[in-house]
Amino acid sequence: MVLLYDWSDKHKEGVTLMNSPVHASDLPDNQFDIGIVGAGMVGSALACGLARANYRVVVFDRQRPPPFDPQSQPGIRVSALSLASQKMLADYGAWQYIEAMRRCPYRRLAVWEKSAPRLPLPKLGGHRGTLFNCKDIHTPELGSIVENNLTHLALHKAMESLPGITSMCPANLEDLNFSPDTATLTLTQHPPVTMKLVIGADGALSQVRKWANIDFSSDQYEQQAMVITVEYAGKQQDITWQEFTPTGPLAFLPLPDVAGKHYASLVWYNTADNIDRLMKLGESQLIGQIWQHYPDCLPAVTGIVDRGRFPLIKRHAQTYFSKRAVLVGDAAHTINPLAGQGVNLGFQDVMALVAILSRDGKPLADPGEAVHLRRYESERRPLNGQMMLAMDLFYHAFSNNHTPLKLLRYLGLNLADKLPFAKQQVLQYATGIKSPPRWLFR
């Protein structure tokens, strides 16, 4: 990888001079096959995939991932990565770096509802929900909880080891213009950069989406998510679980141990007002509230490491491409994090686009041709849309006390647990081992 800007050293020295070229002799010409705006988790994965297909790629970002400190407590932003995402990261040479830093594999996953309906129900067995186990699908684990910063850093390390990637981070982009054959990005303090295809991997508020005049639908959920990183006592957990309550789900995600201490990420969905109140509490008061509201299976919380709040907004781009621009990841879709699917869907976009833009591992003459971008859109947009719809159904079905719905979800959760074949299928779809059948998405 060619580094055009190196922010990290200047940053360490506290110098805020940005955008100064550091390897002037390495400056390539300003023509690339593909430019990627946004080198977050999705953009940097895509850069790796496209460079492996022998494209000449340039990536732009406002920032680089922070360095890893093994003694640091876990960061507040974490994601549950599916087995399919882990495999993609391994194929792209990034997983080894995550393994060398830290991750927390989870082997079991449970969902249940807090209050069973007071109705004459058939006896469905011991517990009120569904427990998935990696043994059900004969894998050593169901996935991993990884700090977003570490996935990001691992992918940047993988990019560094690949020829064909030029990194312009930090870059300050000013404008994007198209001709019939090219897309050109204008930067502050740098000559314009031209490419055959520009990819918007620049997150939920995508500037590429705006420049390409791609409209999007947007809907804010009533609930918000509060994420709390906690330290806990007892045994290290290998289970992630979610309890549905009438005010919103309460989730537990185990994190890797640091210096012999156990950590977890709690996600507390609730109204904006209640989250306002929780955010303002002192440490011991917040621990008290967690004890009051979380179920008994929560291990003893001994400290609060960090907390943050996230409004939940669903966005979907009306089209995934326009002219010579195409969108991936959160730039194309943001989804309710209820089932931890956001970045996993982004990685699926990456795998689909890389497969479409390479023929037997070789680059196409013109990756920006509409025929390829249309194929990508028709493959990914319906799947992402249906996943968003499924999350909406889940959100609304579990956010009210309507008796028939209570009965249905109680039966659904319990029956799922009692039907081994159905359970195995659901688990294979959830971990990305298998794609759901097409008819499910019509």
Ligand X SMILES: Cc1cc2nc3c(=O)[nH]c(=O)nc-3n(C[C@H](O)[C@H](O)[C@H](O)COP(=O)(O)OP(=O)(O)OC[C@H]3O[C@@H](n4cnc5c(N)ncnc54)[C@H](O)[C@@H]3O)c2cc1C
Among 143, 329, 367, 432, binds ligand X (CB under 6 A): 329
| Residue 242 C-beta: closest distance to ligand X, Å | 11
Question: Does position 42 bind ligand X by CB under 6 A?
Answer: yes
Note whether 62 binds ligand X by CB under 6 A: yes
Q: Among 198, 209, 184, 400, which residue's Cα sits nearest to residue 316?
A: 209
Least distance from ligand X to the Cβ atom of residue 426, Å = 17
8 binds ligand X per the rule CB under 6 A: no
Q: Is the dihedral of CA 3, 8, 11, 12 positive or negative?
A: negative
* Site for ligand X contains 203 (CB under 6 A): yes
Give the binding range for ligand X (CB under 6 A) out of 5-13, 184-192, 329-337, 396-404.
329-337
Q: Judged by CB under 6 A, which of 35, 49, 164, 346 binds ligand X?
A: 346
Three-state SS at 167: strand
Torsion angle of alpha carbons 40, 224, 344, 328, nearest 10°? -50
Residue 243 or 330: the one with the smaller Cβ distance to ligand X is 330
Give the ranges where 102-185 is alpha helix by DSSP (H): 148-160
* Number of residues located near ligand X, criterion CB under 6 A: 31
Q: Is 185 in the site for ligand X (CB under 6 A)?
A: no
Residue 167 as a binder of ligand X (CB under 6 A): the answer is: no
Contact between 7 and ligand X per CB under 6 A: no
Residue 57 CB contacts under 8 Å (≥ 6 apart), including other chains: 32, 33, 34, 35, 36, 47, 50, 51, 164, 165, 166
- Smallest gap, in angstroms, from Cβ of residue 11 to ligand X? 14
Phi and psi at 199, nearest 5°, equal -115, 125
With binding defined as CB under 6 A, does residue 36 bind ligand X? Answer: no
Footprint of ligand X on residues 377-436 (CB under 6 A)?
none
227 binds ligand X, rule: CB under 6 A: yes
3-state secondary structure 354-409: HHHHEECCEECCCCCCHHHHHHHHHHHHHHHHHHHHHHHHHHHHHCCCCHHHHHHH
| Smallest separation (angstroms) from ligand X to the CB of 226 | 9
DSSP three-state, residue 116: coil
Residue 132 CB, nearest approach to ligand X (Å): 16
Out of 32, 35, 43, 270, the residue judged to bind ligand X by CB under 6 A: 43
For ligand X, which residue of 237, 242, 344, 431 counts as binding (CB under 6 A)? Answer: 344
For ligand X, the binding residues in 66-85 under the rule CB under 6 A are 79-80
Shortest distance, CB of residue 248 to ligand X, whole angstroms? Answer: 13
Q: Does 178 bind ligand X (CB under 6 A)?
A: no
Residue among 285, 294, 283, 336 at smallest CA distance from 313: 336
**60 is a contact residue toward ligand X (CB under 6 A):** yes
Closer by beta carbon to ligand X, 202 or else 231: 202
Amino acid identity at 37 = V
Which of 3, 173, 195, 301 binds ligand X (CB under 6 A)? It is 173
Does residue 342 bind ligand X (CB under 6 A)?
A: yes
Q: How far apart are CA 210 and CA 195, in angstroms?
A: 18
Concatenated DSSP letters of 44-103: HHHHHHHHHTT--EEEE-S--PPPP-TTSPPPS-EEEEEHHHHHHHHHTT-HHHHHHH--
Q: Among 37-45, 107-115, 363-371, 397-405, which window interacts with ligand X (CB under 6 A)?
A: 37-45
> In whole angstroms, what is the distance from residue 36 CA to residue 27 CA?
18
Continuous segment of H or E residues that includes residue 7: helix 7-12
Q: Does 200 bind ligand X (CB under 6 A)?
A: no
Q: Does 231 bind ligand X (CB under 6 A)?
A: no
Q: For residue 192, is the peptide bond before it cis, meaning its omega torsion is within 30 degrees of 0?
A: no
In angstroms, the CA 392 to CA 410 distance is: 18
Q: Is residue 147 a contact point for ligand X (CB under 6 A)?
A: no
- Shortest CB 220 distance to ligand X, Å: 13
Q: Does 340 bind ligand X (CB under 6 A)?
A: yes
SS (H, E, C) 291-359: HHHCCCCCCCEEEEEEEEEEEEEEEEECCCEECCEEECHHHCEECCHHHCCHHHHHHHHHHHHHHHHEE
Q: Residue 351 interacts with ligand X (CB under 6 A)?
A: no
Residue 113 binds to ligand X (criterion: CB under 6 A): no
According to the binding rule CB under 6 A, does residue 93 interact with ligand X?
no
Interacting residues toward ligand X by CB under 6 A? 37-43, 60-63, 79-80, 148, 173, 201-203, 207, 225, 227, 310, 329-330, 337, 340-344, 346
